[in-house]
Structure 1
Amino acid sequence: MEAAVESPIPGIEASVPQTKKRRASENGVGVNEMKNGTTEKEKFIDESYFASYSDVELHRTMIEDTVRTNAYQQAIFQNMEEYIHGKVVVDVGCGTGILSMFCAQAGAKKIYAIDASKIAVHAKQLVEANGFSNIITVIQGKAEEVELPEKVDVIVSEWMGYMMLYETMLPSVLYVRDKWLKPGGKMFPERAMLFMALGEAQWITKYEEGTYDFWVSLNHVYNLDMSLLADHAVARYKDVVHVHMVSQEDIVSLPTPVCDLDLMRVTPEDIRCISHNFNLASMGSRRLNSMVLWFDVWFPGGLKLSTSPHNEDTHWQNTVLPLTTATVKQDTPVCGVINITQDLSNHRFLNVDLKYRVDSGEEIIRGFKMDDNCTDNDF
């Protein structure tokens, strides 16, 4: 077994150096390949990504999402006798260690809590404060680089990002699965599905009207014609992926599954490029202006965690792709193809390409980049 790299924090095992700030500029970052096959740029991107998870407030946002946190707790406790009690567990991307401590409460024999960010320091302190130091070992390091002393019976991980795949954490979980999970072991969650449906997002219409009126109104205020920017501002808004909670009344069609992942079998190559041909039908006479995406995951035993607009809000919200506004009526067909790929310049980001046709109209092609800006929009 490879020796672990000495941690800069006493008492915490480590295998990667300290991290940098996530949103720092990439200027000057080279692409020279390093010994482990990654490039300097990829290393910088990962370090910046892990640095963002050092923020305690980010973990508060996730934990206070009771839909999320309660689902994991219930899944662990409902399956404790069969899958958790007396078992060896690894928690990939453990954050504050709350899922690891749920497993300890459920009677796990040993838990390895892995996180590459500095939040591992707090996780170790919390483990000690709750009396689980003899059960939970916190390891600060990348999941792909950590060496465990034994195979595990269970993998627990909350790896889902916006639109399920944003941030591209799932490949790290799959790496741990392939290297450390015993035959017949379990994954929490064990299945994940991404859905899409037609939408009439009311806030898009309000924004379009408000921003258009603003630029036009400047003529009355300052006697200057600024209306040329009105169309530009509206068009810019439609070129951005929005993370926003959509009400169930704004869903205009039944959903279609974009992908259905069996987490015991799916490979990183399977999720590098996801393509789905869709054929949706509108419900009622509406103004179609968006495509809405969300995901569900299932745990052993059947418990489901859903981020659907038809269920209680979560911190993941929904992912909204603005479309050219079109009027539809009952059963108007909207068909096309959606492609979701990892961005070549930053593997944590996603590209979403959409080709679609409303009824017998012309084919429309839209391209979206899902990056940090998708969470910075002011609705």
Structure 2
Amino acid sequence: MELGDGGAASRPRVDKEVDFANYFCTYGYLYHQKEMLSDRVRMDAYYNAVFDNAAVHIRDKVVLDVGTGSGILAIWCAQAGARKVYAVEATKMSDHARELVKANDVSDIVEVIHGSMEDVVLPEKVDVIISEWMGYFLLRESMFDSVICARDRWLKPDGMMYPSHARMWVAPIRSGLGEQKKNDFNSAMADWHSFVDETQAHYGVNMGVLEKPFHEEHEKYFLQTSLWNNVHPDQIVGSAALIKEIDCLTASVEEIRTVHAEFSSKIGADRTLVSGFAGWFDVHFRGNSKNPATRDVELTTAPSAEDCTHWGQQVFLLHPPIRANAGDVVGVRFVMSRAKQYHRLMDVEITTTVRTSGGKSLQPRSSKFFIE
């Protein structure tokens, strides 16, 4: 996930020390910032949203950039005519942001604040909150929590959110990755069995009692962990389903803690394998009902042959895949919630039921996944 332009803005809690430490570490490095700043789909969407709507949303306004990272969104807002921009960043990337703000001659407008959004105290309310908070499959990393905190504390009653709306999508796909991961798992288990035999033969110690936990470890890693992938549109074999819509102006943390959806997808390809499901998101910059955007800008991470993003798609592979024909309907129950151990990561459960075009219903199957 990326915040602002890839920064961090949330406060560590004692019971989540490792979780938060890993998170903040990542965004404190320039190589990671560069990856996101090189994403043209991402950059163009934010640039167009700011400058195409500058006259109605940014000019002479007070802006808060949550998780400013390198500070580029704050700089753009200043260049678009903002009266004042508060750029909040929890990592040492704030030092680099200050240098960039100074180098781009907007230090009289942009104030970089090093601290967590939950702790920062601003001298005034703001007209606009801008943030690039979206993680893999939108909600991974839970950055939106900090944006909600900023909104509830500092946004004026008639203020607006950039982006203003977000949506999550899921579609069935075909892929050779499932077979590859299954082979990797089988190779790991074969290697384990050789290890057990060799340890017994050479050192007289039986390691077989550890086979079950080893099996569970590797099953989770190879078969139950979602994958980052750039899915080609031709790999989608059924209709995509909208599983969650978020109004950034009104959404609560409780609302995004769990995503639950039930939907059906009609298969469009004959004699195909439903290897799993791909998940992606889009966000929109629409302003608010009283002050709509001059141009509604969309940033989408949907499968594309040309316009790929660093978010890619999250792929949930089924083992074994589902054999399907055109006209078959795959019913899906989808549940995504925050992982118990690390709240910035996600647990997913997908239950599928297939109804063939001939009217036959197959036994429901449930698969569990982990979004790292």
Class of the TM-score when normalised by the shorter of the 2 chains: 0.7 to 0.9
Q: Is the 8 A contact 2:282 2:299 kept in 1?
A: yes
Q: Deviations over 1:272-293 (max 9, x none)?
A: 1110011111111211111110
CA distance in 2, matches of 1:181, 1:235: 42
Q: CA RMSD in A?
A: 2.7
Q: Measured at CA, do residues 48 and 236 of structure 1 come closer, stay the same or move farther in structure 2, by a change above 3 Å?
A: closer
CA distance in 2, matches of 1:50, 1:214: 32
Using the TM superposition, name which of 175-184 and 203-212 deviates more.
Answer: 203-212
Q: Which residue of 2 aligns with 1:125?
A: 99
Q: CA shift at 1:309, angstroms?
A: 0.4
Q: Is the 8 A contact 2:283 2:300 kept in 1?
A: yes
Q: Which residue of 2 aligns with 1:297?
A: 283
Q: CA shift at 1:253, angstroms?
A: 1.0
Alignment partner of 1:239 out of 212, 218, 224 = 224
Indicate yes or no: 2:304 matched with 1:310. Answer: yes
Letter in 2 for 1:263: C
Letter in 2 for 1:299: F
Q: Which residue of 1 aligns with 2:40?
A: 66
Q: Measured at CA, do residues 16 and 256 of structure 1 come closer, stay the same or move farther in structure 2, by a change above 3 Å?
A: closer
Query: Greater RCO between the two (CA within 8 Å, min separation 6)?
Result: 2
Q: Measured at CA, do residues 128 and 235 of structure 1 come closer, stay the same or move farther in structure 2, by a change above 3 Å?
A: closer
Q: Is the 8 A contact 1:202 1:250 kept in 2?
A: no
Alignment partner of 1:254 out of 239, 264, 277 = 239
Q: Measured at CA, do residues 149 and 54 of structure 1 come closer, stay the same or move farther in structure 2, by a change above 3 Å?
A: same
For these two proteins, the number of residue pairs brought into alignment is: 329
Using the TM superposition, name which of 159-168 and 338-347 deviates more.
Answer: 338-347
- Flag structure 2 segments of 5+ consecutive residues without an equivalent: 1-8, 191-197, 199-210, 287-294, 356-360
Q: Measured at CA, do residues 303 and 182 of structure 1 come closer, stay the same or move farther in structure 2, by a change above 3 Å?
A: same
Q: Deviations over 1:197-245 (max 9, x none)?
A: 00102333455568769999xxxxxxx9xxx9xx997886321210111
Secondary structure of 1:176 counterpart: helix
Q: Is the 8 A contact 1:273 1:340 kept in 2?
A: yes
Q: Measured at CA, do residues 168 and 211 of structure 1 come closer, stay the same or move farther in structure 2, by a change above 3 Å?
A: closer
Q: Measured at CA, do residues 253 and 342 of structure 1 come closer, stay the same or move farther in structure 2, by a change above 3 Å?
A: same
Alignment partner of 1:341 out of 324, 337, 340 = 337
Q: CA shift at 1:317, angstroms?
A: 0.3
Q: Is the 8 A contact 2:10 2:143 kept in 1?
A: no
- Flag structure 1 segments of 5+ consecutive residues without an equivalent: 1-14, 18-37, 217-223, 372-379
Q: Measured at CA, do residues 210 and 39 of structure 1 come closer, stay the same or move farther in structure 2, by a change above 3 Å?
A: closer
Alignment partner of 1:154 out of 115, 125, 128 = 128
Q: Which residue of 2 aligns with 1:5?
A: none
Q: Deviations over 1:69-92 (max 9, x none)?
A: 111000000000000011000000
Letter in 1 for 2:267: S
Q: Deviations over 1:304-326 (max 9, x none)?
A: 00000036100000000001312
CA distance in 2, matches of 1:79, 1:290: 39
Q: Is the 8 A contact 2:185 2:222 kept in 1?
A: no
Indicate yes or no: 2:95 matched with 1:109. Answer: no
Q: Measured at CA, do residues 149 and 215 of structure 1 come closer, stay the same or move farther in structure 2, by a change above 3 Å?
A: closer
Q: Is the 8 A contact 1:276 1:338 kept in 2?
A: yes
CA distance in 1, matches of 2:328, 2:252: 36
Q: Is the 8 A contact 1:274 1:341 kept in 2?
A: yes
Q: Which residue of 2 aligns with 1:279?
A: 264
Q: Is the 8 A contact 1:278 1:337 kept in 2?
A: yes
CA distance in 2, matches of 1:16, 1:49: 10
Secondary structure of 1:299 counterpart: strand
